Amino acid sequence: MKIDSTALMYCAFQSCRHLMADSSSYLETLVPVLDAVHNEHTFVVEVGDRVEASVRALGMYGLAASEANWPHGADLAPAHTQMLAVVDAAVRDLLRLTTVGLPEAVAAVGYALHPLPNLLRTPEDFEPRQYAFCLGIVAKHWRELSTPTCDAFCALVGQQLANRVLQRAGHDLAVP
């Protein structure tokens, strides 16, 4: 089965944003899909039986896709690099934050990530100053995030803008 990984990302991030009980299941399903995205160099990936079973168990029947649904093709491109780095790092943080029981941080990170799946489809629409609002939501939980996640968020919006947002949130530095 081929799935659109960005559709799964969106479901997972919305699940976290709204603190749904199955957030961990979405995230655990997303990890091997992200690995496939990197291995296959495309956002439309072939998934194995285990992931397909997870997708069906979560009721995500609308994930089946083809490259034809992508305006610029589904292949990874340099324009995707920074957004995908945020997704990669933050998904692992979300799993950890869920496990240790930090729901406010999970909701904030889920909120900050939820626009990225659509922006991965049209990276030319990404505007750092607009996305800085999402960074401001995450900034309240900055000390709870891993260094790779913090670094990826900062690289996405640019260090200077990240520093301004983080200083407004009461942090002296953009890194934990």
Residue with token string 């920074």:
82
Q: What is the pLDDT of residues 97-111, one digit of tens each?
A: 999 999 999 999 999
pLDDT in tens, the chain (176 residues): 888 899 999 999 999 999 999 999 999 999 999 999 999 999 999 898 998 888 888 887 666 666 666 767 788 888 899 999 999 999 999 999 999 999 999 999 999 999 999 999 999 999 999 999 999 999 999 999 999 999 999 999 999 999 999 999 887 654 44
**Angstrom distance (rounded) from CA 113 to CA 20:** 16
What is the DSSP pairing of strand 2-4 with strand 44-46?
antiparallel
Q: What is the pLDDT of residues 35-56, one digit of tens each?
A: 999 999 999 998 989 988 888 8
**H/E run at residue 45:** strand 44-46
Six-digit token pair at 72?
């610029």
Per the CB < 8 A criterion, the answer to whether 93 and 145 are in contact is yes
